[in-house]
Chains A and B, each alone.
Chain A
C-alpha cells in the first residue's frame, strides 16, 4: 500500500505496524509533504522558464546574432542594446500605438461584454440558452482559425463585409488604421464571450430584493445599474479589465497573421509583433532580448494590481 504513488499527497499517517516510528516520521513528514508536492511543478517551471529568463537578461547585454548562435557564445556589449532601442523612434511609436490599441480594445471588450451580460438577464429563457451556446462557440474558436475566418470575410473581392456595406472592392488592409481596426474587431469579437459569461455569473450575486426595492422607490434602470448593480460587479470588472489589458498589450497571433508578413512594417507594429520581428525574424537575439525585457517590465507593472487581487482572494478562500 505504501508504494502507491499518490500516497505522499496525503499526510504521512503510518499504519499500526509502524507505530514506533510515528513520532519522527509524523513530524518530518508533515512539514515536508507540501514541499514534496510542489517540487515537481517548481522543478519543471524552474528549468523551462527560470533558466531562459536568466538567459534573456544576459542575452540583452550581448551582441548575439546568427553567427553567435552557431558559436554558442555572444559578445558582451554592455547596455548598448538598450541604448539603441531607447533612441529608436520605431520603439516609441510602437509603444504609443500599442497603448492606444490596448485602450481601444479593452474599452470595447469591456463595454460590449458587460452590455451583453445585462442583455442576457433581460431576454427570454430560450434565447438566453441560445446566446450562451453561441458565445461559447465563439469563445472556442482557436485564434489561428479566427484569423482565417476574418481574413476571408474582409477579402476585398468576395468578402462578405464589402457586400454587406456595399463597399465595392474596398481594401481593408490599405492603411494602418484600417488594418488595426480589423484586428481590433477580431480581438473584441473573440474576447467578448469570456467577459459576458463571467459578468453574467457575477450578476447572479446581485440580490433581486435590492433591485426590486430600488425600482419601487422609483429608480430608473440607469440609476439601478449605477447605484446597485455596478458596485457589486466592480471587483469582477476590475479583474477582467486588468486581464484584458495584459492580454491585449502583448497580443501577437492576430495582428501577425491577419495583417500578414508582406504588409507588416514599422508603421503598423504592435509590441508583440515588434519584438518577434526585431529579435527572432531578423535574428538579432541580443537586441530582441532587450526589447523583451522592456516589454516584460511594462507588463509586470500592469500585472501588479491583478496578481495582488488574486493573492488576496486566495488568502480569503
Chain B
C-alpha cells in the first residue's frame, strides 16, 4: 500500500516533470508556430517591434501574394517540376529497391555483404563532395540542358533514394514470417500466387512508409537542385523558396512565411501519417539529409 504522503510526493514530482515537459514542448514547437502565425498576420503586426503572440485578425493575403504574386512568379512551375521529379523518382526507386530488398531478405549469395556495405556507404557520402563531378558529368552528356535537366535531377535523386529504400524495405520483408509464405504454397498456390495474395498485402505498409521517406527526401532536396536547375522555370520548390528573399533588401516576411508554410505542410502531413512506422528503427534516420 502506498501511503497518502508518498502518493502526494509522487504526484508532486510528476507535476514538476510535466511543467518541464510543457516548457520543452513550447520551445521546440515555437519556430513552427511562429512560421504559421506570421503567415496569417497582417503586415502591421509583423513589422511591429512588439510581437503579437496570438494573432486575432487573420489574413490570407500573404498566401495569395506568395503563390500568385507578381514579385514571386514561377510558384506553380516549381510545384509542377517538383511533383514530376518526386513522382518519377519515387516510382522508379520503389520498383528497383523492392527487387533488391527481396534479394537481401530472402537469399544468401556471394557478394551480399559487399552490396550491403555499398548501400550503407553511399548514404554516408557528403553530397557537397559530389556536386562537382555530377555537374561536370551531366553537363558532358547534355543533361544540364533545359529540356533534359529534370531527367538529370531524377537520376541524381535516385542514387540517394535507392540505398535507404533497399535498406528499409529489406527490414519490412524480414518482418514477414516465412511460415505464412509456406502455408500459402501448401494450399496449392504457386510461389507467385503466394507472393500476390500473402506477401504483397503484408509488404504494402512497408512500401507506403518507404515511399513517404523517398518522397520527403526528394521534396526537401536542395543542394543538387540548386546546382542543376538554373533556369527559373525549371526550379523545384526548395530552390524557389531559397530565392524568395534574394533580390530586395526589405523582406516581405508575411509572404516568406506563407510560402514556407505551403512547402512544409505536405511533408508535415506525410510525417504525421507514418509517424508510428518511423519509430520502427534507425532506418528512418536515413531520411535526414
- Residues on A facing B (Cβ under 8 Å): 1, 4, 6-11, 13, 15, 31, 33-35, 37-38, 40-42, 44-45, 48-49, 51-53, 55-56, 59, 64, 69, 72, 116, 119-120, 122-124, 127-128, 130-153, 155, 157-158, 160, 163, 189, 191-194, 197-198, 200-201, 236, 239-240, 243, 246-247, 249-250, 252-253, 257, 271-273, 275-276, 279-280, 285, 288-289, 292-293, 295-296, 299-300, 303, 306-307, 310-311, 314-315, 317
Contacts and interface: CB of A to CB of B under 8 A. Distances in A.
Q: Which of A49, A116, A201, A296 has the most CB of B within 10 A?
A: A49
Interface of B: 14, 17-18, 20-22, 24-25, 28-29, 31-32, 34-35, 38, 46-51, 95-100, 102-104, 107, 109, 111-113, 115-118, 120-122, 124-137, 139-140, 155-156, 158-159, 162-163, 166, 174, 190-192, 194-196, 216, 219-220, 222-223, 227, 238, 241-242, 244-245, 251, 253, 256-257, 259-260, 263-264, 267-268, 270-272, 275, 278-279, 281-282, 284-285, 288-289
B21 A140 contact: no
A140 B216 contact: yes
Nearest to B99: A37
Contacts of A273: 128
Contacts of A138: 28-29, 31-32
Nearest to A121: B17
Contacts, number: 306
Q: Which applies to chain B's interface (DSSP): helix, strand, loop or mixed?
A: helix
Nearest to A261: B246
A59 B99 CA distance: 34
Contacts of A292: 128-133
A152 B51 CA distance: 12
Given A123-B18, A272-B128, 13 more contacts: A13-B191, A37-B102, A41-B96, A136-B275, A140-B272, A144-B220, A150-B31, A155-B251, A157-B49, A163-B51, A236-B282, A271-B126, A292-B133
14 contacts: A6-B196, A8-B99, A44-B159, A69-B136, A119-B20, A133-B275, A137-B29, A140-B264, A140-B271, A141-B268, A143-B222, A149-B260, A158-B253, A247-B289
Nearest to B200: A6
B275 A160 contact: no
Nearest to B225: A144
Interface of A is mostly: helix
B117 A307 contact: yes
A211 B282 CA distance: 25
A273 to B, nearest CB: 8
A38 B49 contact: no
B271 A136 contact: yes
A295 B124 CA distance: 12
A271 B131 CA distance: 13
B279 A123 contact: no
B129 A250 contact: yes
Nearest to B174: A317
B96 to A, nearest CB: 4
A11 B129 contact: no
A57 B267 CA distance: 37
B21 to A, nearest CB: 4
A119 B278 contact: no
Contacts of B96: 40-41, 44
Nearest to A315: B113
B189 to A, nearest CB: 11
A6 B271 contact: no
B248 to A, nearest CB: 13
Given A189-B28, A311-B120, A48 B159 contact: yes
Contacts of B125: 296, 299
Contacts of A147: 242
A197 B192 CA distance: 38
A142 B17 contact: no
Contact of B34 (A40, A53, A152): A152
A235 B140 CA distance: 45
A144 B104 CA distance: 35
Query: A-B pairs with the 10 shortest C-beta distances?
Result: A250-B126, A140-B271, A37-B103, A52-B133, A123-B21, A34-B107, A56-B133, A10-B191, A34-B103, A292-B129
Contact of B38 (A10, A41, A152, A192): A152
